[in-house]
Amino acid sequence: MDPYGLRRVVAPVGVLPQRADVLDPALPLGEDEVAIEVEALNVDAASFRQLEGAVGRDPARIAAEVERIVRARGKLHNPVTGSGGMLIGRVAEVGPRHPAAAVLHPGDRVATLVSLTLTPLALRRVSAVRPEIDRVECAGRAILFATGPWARLPEDIPERVALAALDVCGAPALVARQAEPGQRVLVIGAGKSGVLVCAMAKERLAGRGEVVVADCSAAALARVAELGVCDRTLALDATDAVGALAGAQQGGGSLFDLVVNCASVPGTEMAAILCARDGGTVVFFSMATSFTAAALGAEGVGKDVRLVIGGGYVPGHADLTLDLLRRHPKVRASFEERYAR
Amino acid sequence: MDPYGLRRVVAPVGVLPQRADVLDPALPLGEDEVAIEVEALNVDAASFRQLEGAVGRDPARIAAEVERIVRARGKLHNPVTGSGGMLIGRVAEVGPRHPAAAVLHPGDRVATLVSLTLTPLALRRVSAVRPEIDRVECAGRAILFATGPWARLPEDIPERVALAALDVCGAPALVARQAEPGQRVLVIGAGKSGVLVCAMAKERLAGRGEVVVADCSAAALARVAELGVCDRTLALDATDAVGALAGAQQGGGSLFDLVVNCASVPGTEMAAILCARDGGTVVFFSMATSFTAAALGAEGVGKDVRLVIGGGYVPGHADLTLDLLRRHPKVRASFEERYAR
């Protein structure tokens, strides 16, 4: 048993696969591993842009560079950006002691929800590069460790819509644990994860309390309002903590029990903290969050708030998020409009 | 009422005092402010080293540089390191609407638990610079906002011992909320905050469960063991996640319900996450914590753990920590030996 894939680490010896320079994708399948016949790599946007910058926008050259990296490292771990992406494919083989051995079968179509930076991968060929969606279509074999989250691709939701939702599925899943009926919830950021978080929070409040979504884009707020997943919108710039607090308290409103930060820009920690009531909770999902800004910020204003790191994994998060899309046809339609093309 | 001190921000207009370039310490006292007659500035170590590097180790020149910064900015906010420190002094005046108006009186000796980076300060003179303890003795006037945490300096504990404990008082206070009887608790880092966290966790477990302290220094572990605040010590290098996990599971031990990361070095996020059981909690107090390393790390290994940012403020944290020292004479003695000289 090798739940973290340590035996596949070639160099440096003894680190976790994510920190490794080189993995060995060719070892025989472990009894707690799953082999996936890869169809496509959804490359992290930052990585894709770097590849384009390095070798140019010619698909053939990008394909060659992807093949070169995977050959050298045994994984698509961009050595410059440090980022990866995710993959989709069909299950080829299931080790008898993998936790999902009873439910995963050869031929099942799945997406891995674990970064390509730690996924052993061997490519036979790249068949197409699609820069407009950061995708590399290919044939190859990848390994999923026992601890690696994955999701079955649904048959009733277009693949690209499902991938867009799965990409942020940890956020609504964690909010489902945090939100409770009667709470006032503020969601900062009206993008993809913000919309799903709103929808989940609104369900959890069960008609008691309030879900408010804040963003600096009036257009984004108008779109969310149309989806019926929030009670109110608030136009504010979350990088302006003082202005955000004034906006949140506008009309004598009290502060929020739960603030969920889904902003995509840096510098929004203090706005989130100031908008939470004493005794409340702030959950940070933005990868632009600064640990010290959050920790020192709350101390500096003497605010007693629980500060939670939104770590993308919650058991069942993929199904929970796809079901959320199914229950909210307007949200699903907006995802289809935006991502299914 | 101006709980965040916004009216004292001179430039740039509209930001919080911590982000301001210049504050005005000379405004008349606000009705929810406290004025403090300053005796000493405990300068952040990084800031003090920078000052020494910039002007040399001559106390007179360091004094002049401190005076220059405070004159220019209205606060001791080192423009290079971005850090501050804390101050001690006596209450000079208490605004009638400050939250502590009923309990704080002129002449009371206090320490501010809020950074000097956001504390309005005017110096009349620097009387001594003590590089060996990063301290600047001075006469001046500082302002504490309504939201600024402070602590009364105890009469029964040497000042430098009290300051050393108050410096990290948020850690044991937050752990007091998280730890419960029956839990297995791992404290990573056997330094000052690690020791106080151990003492608090051991009290909270009430004889059921286990407090284990881990560090790479055998000497530090031996010191903690002598204090009677842990059940077991574990020699491990927390920057080596795989080795740390092996150490934690050594002898067939199960993983921990609560992991408290008090390490002072970067790169220890994964060790903390791997050592927590599924469903457990990791609290990060180290300012060297990387938000993304923690968030992505837990996702990459499919671990369902609550990841908590240890924000230094919990109501009552100062008294709680000083009382902890009083109840643990050996811990107090070790602090006296180390800090009271």
Instruction: List pLDDT tens digits, range A106-157.
Output: 999 999 999 999 999 999 999 999 998 899 999 999 999 999 999 999 999 9
In this structure, chain A runs to a length of 341
Band of pLDDT at residue A311, cut at 50, 70 and 90: confident
C-alpha triplet A85, A91, A94: angle, nearest 5°: 115
Residue A184 CA to residue A198 CA, distance in Å, equals 12
Contact B141, B92 (CB under 8 A): yes
The pLDDT value given to residue A252: 75
* Torsion, Cα of B75, B79, B83, B86 (10° steps): -20
Q: Which residues pair with A88 in a beta bridge?
A: A40, A111
Residue A153 CA to residue B18 CA, distance in Å, equals 47
DSSP A124-178: EEEEEEEGGGTEEEEEEEEEE-TT--EEEPPSSS-HHHHHHHHTTTHHHHHHHHH
Provide the 3-class DSSP secondary structure of residue B40. strand
In terms of Cα–Cα distance, which of B180, B167, B175, B248 is closest to B208? B180
Whose tokens are 């976790």? That residue is A16
Site from B8, B313, B317, B320 to mutate, A interface, most A CB atoms within 10 angstroms:
B313
State the number of CA atoms in the 13 A half-sphere of A157 facing the CB. Answer: 29
Contacts of A319 (CB under 8 A, 6+ apart): A151
B247 and chain A in contact, CB less than 8 A: no
| CB atoms B242 and A287 under 8 Å | no
A305 and chain B in contact, CB less than 8 A: yes
| CB atoms A294 and B307 under 8 Å | no
Of B16, B149, B300, Cβ closest to residue A18: B300
Residue B254 CA to residue B276 CA, distance in Å, equals 9
In the stretch 162-221 of chain B, residues with CB closer than 8 A to chain A read: 170
| CB atoms B303 and A284 under 8 Å | no
Q: Which residues of chain B are under the pLDDT cut of 50? A: none
The alpha carbon of residue A125 is apart from the nearest alpha carbon of chain B, in Å, by 26
Give contacts of A116 with chain B, Cβ < 8 Å: none
Whether the bond between A106 and the residue before it is cis, its omega within 30 degrees of 0, is: no
How many beta-carbon pairs under 8 angstroms link A with B? 145
B307 and chain A in contact, CB less than 8 A: yes
* pLDDT mean across residues, chain A: 95
Whose tokens are 């906002």? That residue is B145
Interior/surface letters B62-88, b for 16+ CB within 10 angstroms, e for the rest? bbebbbebbeebbbbbbeebebbbbbb
CA B299 to chain CA centroid, Å, is 29
- What pLDDT digit, counting tens, does each position of A26-63 carry? 999 999 999 999 999 999 888 999 999 999 999 999 99
> Is the pLDDT at A340 greater than 90, yes or no?
no
Provide the 3-class DSSP secondary structure of residue B319. helix
| CB atoms B313 and A304 under 8 Å | yes
Contact A165, A325 (CB under 8 A): yes
The pLDDT value given to residue B253: 77
Question: Could you tell me the maximum CA-CA distance found in chain B, to the nearest angstrom?
Answer: 65
DSSP B324-336: HHHH-HHHHHHHH
| CB atoms B15 and A315 under 8 Å | no
The pLDDT value given to residue B183: 98
The pLDDT value given to residue B312: 74
Q: Which residues pair with A90 in a beta bridge?
A: A37, A109
DSSP A280-297: EEEEE--TT--HHHHHHH
- What pLDDT digit, counting tens, does each position of A237-249 carry? 999 999 999 999 9
Contact B76, B69 (CB under 8 A): yes
- What pLDDT digit, counting tens, does each position of A272-303 carry? 999 999 999 999 998 889 999 999 899 999 99
Query: Is the ipTM reported for this complex over the cut 0.85?
Result: yes
The pLDDT value given to residue A341: 66
